[in-house]
Structure 1
Amino acid sequence: AVPGVLVTADAADVRALAALPEVRAVRPAVPKVVQNAGAVRLTGAARVWQRAGRYGDGMRVGIIDTGIDYTHADFGGPGTSAAYDAVDRTAPWTPTAKVVGGHDFAGDDYDADDPDRSTPAPDPNPLDCQGHGTHVAGTAAGYGVDRDGAPFTGDYRELTDARLDELRIGPGAAPKASLYALKVFGCEGSTSLTAQALDWALDPNGDGDFADHLDVVNLSLGSDFAAQDDPDALFVRKAVEHGVLVVASAGNGGDFYDVGGSPANTPEALAVANTRDAFALRDGVTVPGVGDRPGQYSRDYTGYGSLDLTAPVAAVADPANADGCDPIAQDLAGRVVWLEWDDVDATRRCGSGARADHAQAAGAVAALLSSTRDHFTAGIAGNAGIPVFQFTGTATREVRPALAAGSLRVRMTGALRDALPTTTPGLADTVTPSSSRGARGPVAAKPDVAAPGDTITSADVGTGDRGVGKGGTSMAAPHVAGIGALVREAHPDWTVEEVKAAVVNTAGGEVRSGDDHATGLPVAPMRVGAGRVDAASAVGADLLAMVVEHPGSVGVSFGPVAVPGPVREVRTVRVVNKSAAVRRVDLSYRAATAVPGTRVDVWPSTLVIEPGGTGEVDVVLRASPSELRKVADPTVVKRQAGAARQFLAETSGRVLLESGGTTLRVPVYAAPEPVADVRAEPVPPGGGPVAELRLRGRFLDQGDGDETYRSRVGAFQLQGTSDPLPDCGDGVRTGCAVNDSAKGGDLRYVGVASTAPVDRSDGALLAFGVVTWHDWVTLGAGNTPEVRLDTTGDGEDDYRVLVAKPQDATGAVVADVWLARTVRLSDGEVVDEQPVNGAHGDVDTNVMDSDVVVLPVRLKALGIDPAASSARLAYSVRTIGTYPAPGDEDGVVDRIGTPMSFDPLRPGYSVRVGGAVAVTHVAGPGTRLEVHRDRASLAADGSDRLLLLHHHNRSGARAEVVVPGG
């Protein structure tokens, strides 16, 4: 186990703890949030029962989640809501034949995000009070529930497709595996207790001997934009090292770069993306004269047990408030209100909760929401007071004529929750839009595989024998955990890496984009890994392939690849023959995304491997810098939130290993980028008011449109410098970096510039250049530069400018659009947003994987008139991050806290190219920087050096400090 303890304390106590000589390290615990019959058919789990006779017997599966409702029929319980209500949560529980063990680490009231409830108060009973863990456990290893509400006790071999469809709840993937309820969440909120549960899974009886470790643990939880060296990764790695297969949900952050988070991004974990199945058990409402129509009910309504209402439907009279996001003026007493729903997250005015509140306040007995989609990407919350139902896109179109005619009536009943079977064949093996685009480090690219996770019906907490439909990677991961248990049962002598390889290599279901598999585009590894899992092939695998350089990763990742000249990088894949026969293996590479100027080859093209033997193949990445173009993944949407999206050029695909009629896959990923080498020529001494800097070196100028790479330079008056942070360790607890990810927030230089000397319009900009000692991975998430400004001279900060992205009402990121967001501190109002580096994604400024960034803000937004003669201000700079040092201010990774002084209307240096000023300039062989000097301002500012930012240079060489003219 990992030698350590989890503590909850205020900042002062943490600093005191960190100072103790016995304490080697203190790391922040990043809070995590929660994230079947049709699925077991699609993935072949049912074939494993029918043909291989494997059901998970003897396997022990830990569900690290919200607990398990062991009274539910799906786990062999009494199967009544009364039995659930009768459980004394404060008394020790008695394990059952299915849920054979567990532990409560949290207590029902625990919530890591609420300071008043962030201290765990575990009770002796891991009973679920939220529902997520129960649903997850059923998907992994539930018995199944028959149509009469009794646990399924028949022969799983005899479960034909027709018999599966008769079940109220289908069996989990490993229906005879034993379950362990490891409760790390309270009844709501987040958790910081994942590490404790992983530690428990290594040694359930706590005797220090890991021989009793669990076989598989499922983590349907995570934190978006977390790093691969998140502290929880250490516990995942330790569990894998001692024989526990760790399966984790890839996250529901959507198709945004680096959103895939911890713990799924740990290289050794088996990370699972979310795909769709053709079958869904949907909610329904009855339209008199038309019939039952599918959709989804709101989550938060509390009266479904007795719901049965029939009422006329009325639209909101005010067309400007057709969505109900503003209070509704008309009287809706006794009626169901129709509200228009915007299916685009970035443009939706409000969520379902606000609409339900407004509808209820206007007297409505219920609300209906429209949709343009037949497959929902997320559920709706609503409120506790009235039921809210959202029609599918097809059902919306069917009932609109009656709505327009004023004749629409509906009947809403609790009996139609999860009761309407629907089949949409084209949806099978399409990626769920909310499934996270994965992490892309040099050790491992994520996710590893995909599995059905949309509209999955599994056990519903507290209902006794009922199921409920849920969707997300949380529902996909336990399906793979169950498959992992089947593989471990079939191959008890295999290592965890080999079990993972069997699941990854055989994930041969091709996943496509959109809502129709026939017309969609193939989806690359960064969304779905090797592909959709195939349980039968995984259990039957006798040939395995995995990368050599990074044990436990299985897939090949070159990560971000700098290309200053011709590049040739090699990774080796080991192929293991587990069969008793000689195997000939033919190898090839199939691209999913291609970048001009790159090539992936495999050598040799054929292996012959003896029984029990191994062979090796090289995966070779070649890149030619001048031929590279910034070409996006074809499935990437290039405009988001009304702006050109930032994106990466990615070379990815799968190594294919063909032998004996079967094909195995190993995912491959690289993000190649050409590198410039630009510098200013040495400057001769001189004292005039204008100096000239000429640029020299190797420039980028290739491609057209948004596929262009072109060198850019920004010029700033250097005002702040900072030494590198030491590593946190023995005796070093403050002012240090806790991990490599924190070093992306380690400040090096800070500079400032203004366009006002040339541009006196309301569009005049103040811009801050920020340089760190190391590249960041998740700018604006894991590491966020922030400038605090005092514009009034009273010593108090008035504004802050920070890197941010557009978000929805819940705080979730909705676009890969990096912004310099300016917030007025007196009231929290956002007064300005500018693209970082002065450009959106149609102009490459190398935002990702960099160590330099420019934060512009309009002077007018700061209350400064660009036409005035002077406006001296003070500012300080810091970086906010996920991984601050234990003894430092909460959330602050590094700071240059001494206020720096600057007058944007009379800057010490004003740098122009051809007489023009800008946040960044195109840099080429003939570029000359005209440096206009104001000696009085330089003296007042206390600085005389210039900071040049060469955005496309190599890491560590993007910042250059010069003294213009001596």
Structure 2
Amino acid sequence: MTRLARFAGFALSIALTASPVIAAPTVNPPDDDSWLSLHVVLQGPCVLDVLDLRQPFGSAGNIDRARRQLDSLRQQHEWMTEQVESLGGEVVASIKRLANVLQVRIPARRASRLTALSGVVRVESVPYYERSLSSAVPFVGAPRAWETPGATGAGIRIGIIDTGIDYLHADFGGSGNPQDYTNNDRTIIEPGTFPTAKVVGGWDFVGDKYNGSSGIKPDPDPLDCFEEESTVIAGGHGTHVAGIAAGMGVNLDGSTFSSSYLASLDPKTFRVFPGVAPEASLYALKIFGCDGGTNMVISAIDWAVDPNDDGNFSDHLDVLNMSLGGSYGLQSQTEAEIVKNATLAGMLLVVAAGNDGDTFFVTGEPATYTETLSVAATVDEISYLALRIDSPSSIAGNIPCAEGAFSRPLIETGSISGTLVATEPADACSDLQNASDLSGRIAYIKRGNCYFVDKVQRAVDAGALAAVIVDNVVQNEPFSMGGDGSQKPIPAVLIRNTDGTSLSTHLAGGVNVTLDAHNTYVADIPSDQIASFSSRGPRSIDGRLKPDVAAPGLAILSAGVGSGTDPRETSGTSMACPMAAGAAAVLRQAHPSLSAFDIKAMMMNTTAPMANPKGIPVPVSLGGAGRIRVDDAARQTVTVAAAEPPGAVSLSFGTILTAQTVTTQQDLVISNHGLAPRVFDLSAAPTYPLEGASISVSPSTVTVDPQATATVTVSLTLDPDKLPIEAPDPHTPATLSMGNESYPRHFITEFGGSIVLSDQENPSLRVPFHAIVRAADRHAAGEAAQCIVGDDPPISIPIQGQGAHKEPVVSVFQHLLSRPLPILPPIPPGEATIVQVGIANDLASVGSFKDGKLYIAVAVAGQWTTPAKGPLSLFSIAIDTTGDFVEDYTVVAEPSSPYRFRDVLRSVTYRQSQGARVGRADLNAARRDELNTEPYFNSVLIFPVPLAALSELSEDNAAFSFRVTTQQPSFPFLLDRTDWITHDPTKAPVDTARAGYRGMPLYGPGDAVRVYLHREHWDAQGFPSLLLIHHSNELGKRFEVVTLADVGAVYPSDLEVSQNAPVEMNALASSTWPIYVTHQQGSEARDVKLSVSATNGAKIIALSSDSGTCTLSNCTFEKLEDGAQANIEVTVQAASADFEFTAEVSTAADCDSNTENDRSTTRISVLHTKGDLDPGQQPDASYPLDITDYSAGGGCSCGVIGVTPAPRWFSWLSLLAISALRKRRCSNKQSRR
């Protein structure tokens, strides 16, 4: 398979324009007049479910079970078909073997009625897919496997689920006569044409006119189509793919290669080099028309498990190649069941990872299903088509270029030479001012501002021989320009920006060039690097690792549809996929007893590591286990795979977001399929070291007996405190560039690599491991007592709690809506269940109303991977600006562009009436290099909406309504929706943005969170609650609703304290009296404290309240409303001296408007009796003496009035004298008696 390089992607075109026009996304259900393609899942088991899998498929018992179940399902499907047709729909496929499903087309307005039909389990949308060899085949080691162990795929059946196969091409043993293809009627099978010895079966499930949304017209002839007006993708994609997987090879003279397949074959002796498994049988399962996409994948998979429909699954195909897919892996439950059951039945599904580039989560379905073998694309030894510069001599030589997908191929036109003439204008996006200068010459055009096809058409109209377009982005490789389906009559090529810069300086002096299909430019780059277009994982549904392996996919030459004998060159994971499918066929022949899963594991275990041109290793989320090595796999007898989940080989630890050290473990199962014991040393090899993350294997050495298994444990430990500040891995650029624009990307922190099993005699085995890791916080709003004074006062909200994240961000909003989780929700609470909504604006920080933004905050119960999955925004915010509760604007989350900026996320506003984008801002309001708001793996999101985009609103007419919806790409489309919420930003009761980062409601690390209060806009409910979002917190702690009281902020109040204390007490006696704390006026008082004290030795022996919590020194009250009174009772024991008792009221915020009534003090006199004085006691001069019942010796009872307090000079001797005098008086009275 000789090779040239016309760089193309999954759909053979990386970009259509330099500045793409982005239409409004489909964020709502389809119009009532549109038709939907739906899977109707029915009650009852499919055929596979009733089989005894312990018995061969061909056993009499299983055949009988299968046939009886097929008959039963036919009756069920016939009855259900009648019901569907009665609703105005049509059944396009009846799936019975691997699932019990009808695929239907039905008007959207009637789709909901399907769920009410008896026997229907659920209804889902049908996934829509697009179609996504020379040195490459030797590069993966296939020719060495042809010789040792002699595996060429013989006896193995490969199903090509694609656009069909040109079985008339010489690469498949056909006649090689292009006229035979032209004369063939693709709707019928002409006698003797099909099946062939190579393409032994197949079916056209859709017909040539099918485009993915139109009706189907199946027929028995799966011949690939090629039409002059079709896109290159549509014409011959399946033929090209089939040739890579299992083409027989075409000699230079156009004849089919028929000799032995040896490692010594010279690619230069072939027009088309043989495929990876040249002796495998092919099945053409045609699910695409001549143009457009498809939703007929599961019909082909279901057909493949029993091609002759006899109920005996033993003739199932061995390998299915699926060079197709959709971005971001938006999976279908029905399709997941089909894939799982197909693998269980013995088929290995090999699927292209996609061509959306180094964007997180973008790898597409069906490659993201666990059981599939997902294939990324690598670069091997490559060469490009060359533009030869003939003069001037100073710049003469070859530069790389790539032909357009819409232009006439140079292989048809032959060599073209001419003078380069620059168009005026330079980008040819309007009528050419120098059209006459281009006639008979080669147009030189700069990329930008309009479609490629429009530029080239203007060159055609001017009479140009060809067109050379200069890229406006600095890139290492030229790519194939995409088109609109029409082919231009002249060749057009794209050259690199750097080469164009050099050429431009010489145009005035005349530059002569030659374009020739046979002229090549050999690239001076290392092999085994990932192709720039290959889609990155992990998968978007849960963050588990995909893709699985990689294979060459850049500039692959294979069979060209309708050409008879010629090759066609294409790039993409669509080409890497059949490399892996052919390899799987070789391995299935070499290891006939192994299951489909074992073959998948064997391919992943024996891969080669990859690196970029600087030697930096490729992360596992981009290249999987590595580049396949067929020869090593063919000689291997041991497989290693994760113990869970079924169908997975890689160890996916998922997402670990934690505030404390955590260790998680998973098991690996080592299976020895050979006849001798194997001893392995095990180790962990991270792709890049990550401080704070470690991985180990236990035990470190293991012996696996023949035909036995052993289990080892892999432990991953994460210490979030040691994790560094988040940064992309060394292979991943921190910014994304297009033209002169560069933007910081969002990214995830991955900890990945390989578990390596080594022995002394064989190549090492590898199993990828992968985890998404992030240090998290447990932050929450704290309390800081503060008094609110003034007309526009700020309050502070302290943030407290444990935290390991290095760049925590909190954002604050007016809280609008809380929704509790339902007890029995229709769907599990998760990324689609809305629980909180808040809003803020920045009007206080900007110059005018139209300069301002709204900030709508949404929180859900679960956690998403990414809120913007390509065409799907998890959220859709409907805005009504006219008061009729009809959606005038739609706000969604989406990537910044469909191309290079997919990891730059935006909040985008569309006007519904025009379908036009009217506003765009950074999702979460800040760029990644400003604040780290963690949009990936989160539960909280901020949608900025420019007020200028909402043209009906003004400062005098600012009220609007909005509602939030969560959505999915499949029926029933809308998962959760709030009621309409009305809001006026000019009357917002709080301003959470004024003190925030750049006047927005976001606060970065160390920022003081301050909220301004607009009390004049409060409603009857008082202070509005606040919604706080903690972007870096752990799951379940990322949002909270707080009030003024929660953060300790209060408005002034007037508290008064009073008491009914006695003025006299007996010494050492106890007395109880009430104390009252009364809220006289003002706002509710919070955190009220009553403190009590007594002097001169008096003791407080009891303190209690009917509403507070008391100790012996104070009582505290959570709140005291206006007009309320707290009743306290105190019991005090007097000492021997007068004392003062004081009760004082205060609040934590020290927010009393009248402090004069905050304190009540009573002076209490202490009265004494004889027993009050202890022997030897010496009271001081201030001691109050009351000797009312003093009895002297002899029993004299004298009534003595109390003595007033003595002056300070009064001494103890004076007291003795007075006492003696009173004794004598008592004695005289006694004698008189």
- TM-score, length of structure 1 as denominator length: 0.89
Aligned to 1:949: 1029
Q: Does 1:717 align with 2:815?
A: yes
The 3 A distance-change label for structure 1 pair 840 and 95 is same
Native 8 Å contact 2:123 2:971 kept in 1: no
Task: Identify which of 915, 932, 947 aligns with 1:844.
Answer: 932
Q: Does 1:958 align with 2:1055?
A: no
> Any idea what the Cα deviations from partners look like across 1:69-95, whole Å, max 9, x if unmatched?
111111111111111111112213621
Aligned to 2:880: 790
- Secondary structure (helix, strand or coil) at the match of 1:165 reads helix
Distance 2:545 2:998 in 1: 40
Native 8 Å contact 2:905 2:923 kept in 1: yes
Aligned to 1:376: 478
AA aligned opposite 1:801: V
Per-residue deviation at 1:399?
8.5
Native 8 Å contact 1:279 1:421 kept in 2: no
The 3 A distance-change label for structure 1 pair 443 and 315 is closer
Aligned to 1:207: 310
Distance 2:1020 2:970 in 1: 37
Per-residue deviation at 1:296?
2.7
Task: Identify which of 96, 102, 107 aligns with 1:10.
Answer: 107
Native 8 Å contact 1:873 1:902 kept in 2: yes
Task: Identify which of 371, 376, 380 aligns with 1:268.
Answer: 371
The 3 A distance-change label for structure 1 pair 611 and 317 is closer
Between 1 and 2, higher relative CO (CA 8 Å, sep ≥ 6) is seen in 1
The 3 A distance-change label for structure 1 pair 937 and 194 is farther
The 3 A distance-change label for structure 1 pair 217 and 910 is same
Aligned to 1:126: 222
Aligned to 1:140: 245
Aligned to 2:779: 678
Per-residue deviation at 1:595?
2.8
Per-residue deviation at 1:105?
1.3
Aligned to 2:360: 257
- Secondary structure (helix, strand or coil) at the match of 1:475 reads helix
**1:69-148 maps to which residues of 2 (within 5 A)?**
69-92=166-189, 94-112=194-212, 114=213, 117=214, 119-129=215-225, 130-148=235-253
- Secondary structure (helix, strand or coil) at the match of 2:558 reads strand
Native 8 Å contact 2:398 2:521 kept in 1: no
- Secondary structure (helix, strand or coil) at the match of 2:153 reads coil
Distance 2:543 2:788 in 1: 51
Aligned to 1:667: 768
- Greater shift in the superposed pair: 581-590 or 921-930: 921-930
Aligned to 1:334: 439
The alignment of Structure 1 onto Structure 2 pairs a total of residues equal to 917
Q: Does 1:316 align with 2:396?
A: no
Aligned to 1:437: 536
Per-residue deviation at 1:170?
0.7
Distance 1:301 1:548 in 2: 51
- Secondary structure (helix, strand or coil) at the match of 1:838 reads coil
Aligned to 1:563: 658
Aligned to 1:779: 867
AA aligned opposite 1:906: K
Native 8 Å contact 1:282 1:469 kept in 2: no
Native 8 Å contact 2:277 2:583 kept in 1: yes
Q: Does 1:400 align with 2:480?
A: no
AA aligned opposite 2:832: G
Distance 2:839 2:997 in 1: 17
Q: Does 1:178 align with 2:281?
A: yes
> Any idea what the Cα deviations from partners look like across 1:922-958, whole Å, max 9, x if unmatched?
3679955435244646469x99443222212222332
- Secondary structure (helix, strand or coil) at the match of 2:327 reads coil
Aligned to 1:705: none
Distance 1:362 1:585 in 2: 70
Per-residue deviation at 1:763?
4.0
Task: Identify which of 184, 194, 199 aligns with 2:297.
Answer: 194
**1:350-389 maps to which residues of 2 (within 5 A)?**
350-370=450-470, 375-381=477-483, 384-389=487-492
Aligned to 1:835: 922
Per-residue deviation at 1:238?
1.3
AA aligned opposite 1:489: Q
Q: Does 1:901 align with 2:978?
A: no
Per-residue deviation at 1:341?
5.1
Native 8 Å contact 1:593 1:650 kept in 2: no
> Any idea what the Cα deviations from partners look like across 1:237-285, whole Å, max 9, x if unmatched?
1111111011000100110110001011111111110001113474767
AA aligned opposite 1:714: V
The 3 A distance-change label for structure 1 pair 582 and 918 is same
- Secondary structure (helix, strand or coil) at the match of 1:512 reads coil
Native 8 Å contact 2:339 2:369 kept in 1: yes
Task: Identify which of 592, 596, 602 aligns with 1:492.
Answer: 592
Q: Runs of 5+ in structure 1 lacking a partner?
A: 343-347, 703-707, 728-735, 886-890
Aligned to 2:678: 583
Aligned to 1:546: 641
The 3 A distance-change label for structure 1 pair 929 and 63 is same
The 3 A distance-change label for structure 1 pair 265 and 784 is same
Aligned to 1:149: 254
Distance 1:926 1:317 in 2: 55
Per-residue deviation at 1:374?
6.2
- Greater shift in the superposed pair: 86-95 or 227-236: 227-236
**1:692-711 maps to which residues of 2 (within 5 A)?**
692=795, 694-700=797-803, 708-711=806-809
> Any idea what the Cα deviations from partners look like across 1:277-332, whole Å, max 9, x if unmatched?
113474767858968875332222357675257463343354xx423344432214
Per-residue deviation at 1:215?
0.3
Task: Identify which of 690, 699, 704 aligns with 1:609.
Answer: 704
Per-residue deviation at 1:804?
1.5
- Secondary structure (helix, strand or coil) at the match of 1:477 reads helix
Distance 2:1000 2:439 in 1: 59
Distance 2:822 2:183 in 1: 59
Distance 1:87 1:284 in 2: 37
Native 8 Å contact 1:369 1:389 kept in 2: yes
AA aligned opposite 2:669: R
AA aligned opposite 1:323: D
Per-residue deviation at 1:28?
1.2
AA aligned opposite 1:429: D
Task: Identify which of 831, 834, 858 aligns with 1:747.
Answer: 834
Q: Does 1:482 align with 2:571?
A: no
Distance 1:600 1:670 in 2: 11
AA aligned opposite 2:253: D
Per-residue deviation at 1:179?
0.4
Per-residue deviation at 1:791?
2.6
Distance 1:294 1:913 in 2: 54
Distance 1:821 1:402 in 2: 41
Per-residue deviation at 1:229?
5.5
> Any idea what the Cα deviations from partners look like across 1:87-144, whole Å, max 9, x if unmatched?
11221362111110111111111122x4xx2x22222211111210000000000101
The 3 A distance-change label for structure 1 pair 938 and 55 is farther
Distance 1:5 1:153 in 2: 44
Task: Identify which of 626, 634, 649 aligns with 2:730.
Answer: 634
**1:527-542 maps to which residues of 2 (within 5 A)?**
527-542=622-637
Native 8 Å contact 2:814 2:1024 kept in 1: no
Native 8 Å contact 2:720 2:804 kept in 1: no
Distance 1:821 1:507 in 2: 42
Q: Does 1:862 align with 2:944?
A: no
Per-residue deviation at 1:558?
0.8
The 3 A distance-change label for structure 1 pair 388 and 907 is farther
Per-residue deviation at 1:644?
1.3
Per-residue deviation at 1:377?
4.5
Per-residue deviation at 1:366?
2.0
The 3 A distance-change label for structure 1 pair 76 and 905 is same
The 3 A distance-change label for structure 1 pair 196 and 11 is same
- Secondary structure (helix, strand or coil) at the match of 2:525 reads helix
Native 8 Å contact 1:720 1:751 kept in 2: no
- Greater shift in the superposed pair: 926-935 or 9-18: 926-935
Native 8 Å contact 2:997 2:1003 kept in 1: no
Task: Identify which of 637, 643, 646 aligns with 2:746.
Answer: 646
The 3 A distance-change label for structure 1 pair 625 and 310 is closer
Distance 1:24 1:403 in 2: 69
The 3 A distance-change label for structure 1 pair 669 and 326 is farther
The 3 A distance-change label for structure 1 pair 299 and 913 is closer
